[in-house]
A and B are shown apart, each in its own frame.
Chain A
Amino acid sequence: MKLQCALVSVLAASMCAGQGLTAKKAWTPLRTANGQPDLQGVWTNATITPLERPADLAAKPFFTPSEAAAYEKQVVENANVDRRRSDVTTDVGLAYNEAWWDRGTHVVKTLRTSLIVDPADGKLPALTPEGERRAVALAERRRLHPADGPEDRGLTERCILWPTAGPPMMPSVYNNNYQIFQGPEYVAIMVEMIHDVRIIPLDTRPHLPSGVRQWLGDSRGHWEGNTLVVDTTNFTDKTKFRGSSENLHLTERFTRTDPDTILYEYTVNDPATWTKPWTAQITMTKSASRVYEYACHEGNYGMMGILAGARAEETSSANAGAK
């Protein structure tokens, strides 16, 4: 409890310094019919702020507003630069631009230069030796077996799980959209990618048995003042958020700081992977749009193309007698 208070005050101080979300007149959120602070509506967490602070901004935890604007301009231009190359393969590989991507065009409203707020340097804490070992083994496996079968491909290509669902819910390449619903005993978050719904009970029931593991883990929520605190455990060892293990313990906090903003903060606790817990913040912005159906698996030509292409390449190189 003491630690929690300390964290809050550090955040408040840094927010003030960054001149982003000045903790002005404590805005009182609206309430739902059954008295919960109202988080409902469609929200987007698209942002060009990276998770970790870029090396060239190591000394700069926060942008000034004009620096932020300049950064935004540069990032958006880069995303749309003409990258035609001479060979067909590279040309196709680089053909995406903002017509396709929708990473957002703004940094987070706090103007922090990383999503990570703790450690203070905006970088992930060091991996444990086991975490390092796992990461190396995984990278090696991917190098040696890029496309033996569907399990070698990423979860997005397999249409199983998108980073926007997580949890934690991280912005991704497009469709960073969420719709939040609140009932008397539940908060439900519909994640556009891939029509995942996180249904978070607010009573005091225990988590699922430890033998039961789920891609999105198992979440339990409660209100602390105007902040929804969500505790998630029971992850599988296949979810691997940034290399995490199945013993990842995630705490998320949702606070509506003004009519158009939810401050979303999460703390990752996984002693098997990182030497200490780490925390990130993203500002979610109210969206005028609707959430669409993303029938990922139903239209998954990508997987067939990748695997069949890999098999065709192997056959042709085998036929060509290449070593």
Chain B
Amino acid sequence: MITAAAVAGMLSLVALPAAAQGTASRGPRTADGKPNLNGIWQVLTEANWDLQGHAAAAGPMIPLGAIGAMPPGQGVVEGEEIPYKPEALATKKANFADRLKLDPEVKCYLPGVPRATYMPFPFQIVQTPKFILISYEYANAARTIYMEDPGPPPVDSWMGQSVGHWEGDTLVVDVTGFNDQTWFDRAGDYHTDALHVVERYTLRGPDTLMYEATIEDKNVFTKPWKISMPIYRRLEKNVQLMEFKCVEFVEELMYGQYRKKTAK
């Protein structure tokens, strides 16, 4: 059934090579004329280990050897340092010292935003005019970006409530309604329920998304701060998200102490 919209959609696809030769920002478009962010994407930085620049270091578990060690990273924080209040910095350091017990990632808890973006797992964007769904392979975390304002978040949540709009060719996502349970990375960087995140997604060519997130939390930081990194399209043939339902993998860790002891 060929509708006018379908024809327009096909024409916009056909027009793609010409558009690519034109202005660099034009890029592939959806049927409603927006930059097309559909697809499977993944970040390549070491941000999930530590947002700030860091050398390589031994990991917290000796039996894991080099597998559990921390890889080095140049850092993704603009200005290099996260602007902690002094007492909050002490909390971050305490978090790091006790990270095996305290990092929610260890327990397969929902990663929150922006951490979900730079977990070392792919995610898929399914883009419609009214909603943009982001499905994360990690712990099948998911969030729906409302492109029409739904009002204030009805309840606090791990992934927050995301409201998006276009500024030119940039998708701007305003995220509020967080609880205080997630971390930003494995280095103990944390927040309270006053967290407010604004993300910006801009296509740079058909296979690269430039990503920025501005983070503010008046209880923890002296001022808002920004991270940025590219996100790359996963180009393998027939690539798809697979399941990483890690709850099963942490049951022994979390409930093993309650396991019945068999007297054998």
Contacts and interface: CB of A to CB of B under 8 A. Distances in A.
Does A touch B (CB under 8 Å) in the complex? yes
A211 interface: yes
Contacts of B55: 212-214, 236
B75 interface: yes
A321 interface: no
A213 B56 CA distance: 9
B9 interface: no
A208 B53 CA distance: 8
A211 B74 CA distance: 10
A4 to B, nearest CB: 31
A236 B55 CA distance: 10
A299 interface: no
A211 B52 CA distance: 9
Interface string B52-79: 1111000000000000000010110000
Nearest to B75: A209
A197 to B, nearest CB: 15
Interface string A207-236: 011011110000000000000000000001
A155 to B, nearest CB: 16
Contacts of A211: 52-54, 80
A147 B74 CA distance: 35
A214 B72 CA distance: 10
Contacts of B74: 208-209, 212
A212 B55 CA distance: 5
Interface of A is mostly: loop
B79 to A, nearest CB: 10
Contacts of B75: 209, 212
Contacts of A212: 53-55, 72, 74-75
Contacts of A236: 55
Interface residues of A, number: 7
Interface string B33-61: 00000000000000000001111000000
Contacts of A209: 53, 74-75, 80
Interface of B is mostly: loop
B89 to A, nearest CB: 14
Contacts of B52: 211
Nearest to B77: A209
Of B54, B55, B75, the most chain A CB neighbours within 10 A belong to: B55
A112 B80 CA distance: 46
Nearest to B73: A212
Interface in B73-104: 74-75, 80
Contacts of A213: 55
A213 B54 CA distance: 8
A208 B75 CA distance: 10
Nearest to A214: B55
Nearest to B54: A212
A213 B55 CA distance: 6
A303 to B, nearest CB: 15
Nearest to A236: B55
Contacts of A214: 55, 72
Interface in A138-164: none
A209 B54 CA distance: 9
B132 to A, nearest CB: 34
A2 to B, nearest CB: 35
Interface in A174-229: 208-209, 211-214
B195 to A, nearest CB: 25
B56 to A, nearest CB: 8
A209 B76 CA distance: 12
Of A208, A212, A214, A236, the most chain B CB neighbours within 10 A belong to: A212
A211 B72 CA distance: 12
Nearest to B52: A211
Contacts of B54: 211-212
A209 B52 CA distance: 10
A214 B74 CA distance: 12
A213 B74 CA distance: 11
Nearest to A209: B53
Nearest to A211: B53
Nearest to A215: B55
Contacts of B80: 209, 211
A212 B80 CA distance: 11
A322 to B, nearest CB: 33
A213 B53 CA distance: 10
A214 B80 CA distance: 17
Contacts of B53: 208-209, 211-212
Contacts of A208: 53, 74
Interface string B217-258: 000000000000000000000000000000000000000000
A199 B13 CA distance: 42
A212 B74 CA distance: 8
A73 to B, nearest CB: 47
20 contacts: A208-B53, A208-B74, A209-B53, A209-B74, A209-B75, A209-B80, A211-B52, A211-B53, A211-B54, A211-B80, A212-B53, A212-B54, A212-B55, A212-B72, A212-B74, A212-B75, A213-B55, A214-B55, A214-B72, A236-B55
Given A212-B72, A213-B55, A214-B55, 5 more contacts: A211-B52, A211-B80, A212-B55, A214-B72, A236-B55
8 A-B pairs with least C-beta separation: A209-B53, A212-B53, A212-B55, A209-B80, A213-B55, A214-B55, A211-B53, A209-B75
